[in-house]
């Protein structure tokens, strides 16, 4: 999901402010896109037209979604703005997963590696959907950056989370880079305004 341009700009600005702490990536317009992942899977590019058609239909029938930022979440050097779970975003995730899962192209290497040690719901999700963060394990968030030092930073000097209330206006298909980044836009679709 792609947030409205105001939130995208704020997230990019914060990412750039943090880059002097040593990061693996810094968000930039048209290079590393601020986003909240609904589904990360291996796709066959020969099926991109079919995938796009399915996502376009979902987008057309899904109103824009506004989510409240609830915390700065830090783990493995990542710093994210984590958002509240709402029925609208949970439903959108499952629509996307159910539409794309039947035509995904196996497992990403990261998920093959995770499957070796995964247990419980995480293992079940990888086996069923090719992605661990589905359903109850879904945590909508926008990643700001990933620090080269995995120790958490003090977030008290970061902007107040009230400023990160986000309206997600589009869904899209992106090529993923390292660290879960969206490095190339393949297609995007406006969510409806209903």
| Nearest one of 180, 145, 141, 181 to 161, comparing CA atoms | 141
Average pLDDT of span 19-23: 95
pLDDT computed for residue 193 by the predictor: 63
Residue 102: partners with Cβ closer than 8 Å, 6 or more residues away = none
Answer whether residue 121 is part of any domain.
Answer: no
70 in any annotated domain? yes
pLDDT in tens, 26-41: 999 888 999 999 999 9
Q: Do residues 15 and 26 touch, judged by C-beta distance below 8 A?
A: yes
Residue with tokens 């970061």: 158
Domain-located, residue 186: yes
Identify whether 150 is part of a domain.
yes
Span 142-169, average pLDDT: 95
Mean pLDDT of the region 106-134 = 93
Structural domain contains residue 128: no
pLDDT in tens, 49-103: 999 999 999 999 999 999 999 999 999 999 999 999 999 999 999 999 999 999 9
* Domain of 155, in residue numbers: 2-105+140-190
Looking at the predicted structure, is the pLDDT value of residue 9 above 60?
Answer: yes
Average pLDDT, the chain: 95
CATH of the domain at 36: 3.90.1140.10
67: nearest Cα among 93, 43, 42: 93
The answer to whether position 123 is within a domain reads no
Q: Is the pLDDT of residue 127 over 70?
A: yes
In the block, tokens 């992106």 appear at 174
What does the pLDDT read at residue 178? 86
Looking at residue 28, what is its pLDDT?
Answer: 92
Residue range 108-136: mean pLDDT, rounded: 93
pLDDT bin (cut points 50, 70, 90) of residue 109 is confident
Residue 25 has pLDDT above 80, yes or no: yes
Number of domain units in the chain: 1
């Amino acid at each position: 999901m792609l947030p409205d341009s105001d939130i995208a700009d704020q997230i990019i600005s914060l990412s750039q402010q943090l880059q002097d702490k040593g990061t693996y990536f810094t968000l930039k317009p048209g290079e590393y896109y601020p986003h909240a992942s609904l589904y990360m899977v291996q796709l066959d590019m020969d099926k991109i037209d079919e995938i796009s058609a399915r996502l376009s239909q979902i987008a057309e029938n899904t109103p824009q979604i506004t989510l409240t930022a609830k915390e700065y979440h830090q783990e493995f050097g990542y710093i994210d703005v984590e958002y509240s779970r709402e029925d609208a975003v949970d439903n959108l995730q499952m629509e996307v997963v159910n539409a794309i899962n039947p035509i995904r192209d196996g497992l990403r290497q990261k998920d093959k590696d995770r499957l070796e040690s995964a247990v419980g719901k995480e293992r079940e999700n990888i086996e069923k959907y090719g992605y661990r963060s589905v359903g109850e394990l879904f945590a909508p968030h926008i990643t700001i950056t990933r620090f080269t030092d995995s120790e958490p930073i003090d977030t008290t000097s970061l902007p107040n989370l009230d400023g990160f209330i986000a309206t997600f206006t589009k869904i899209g298909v992106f090529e993923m880079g390292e660290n879960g980044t969206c490095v190339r836009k393949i297609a995007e679709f406006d969510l409806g305004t209903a």
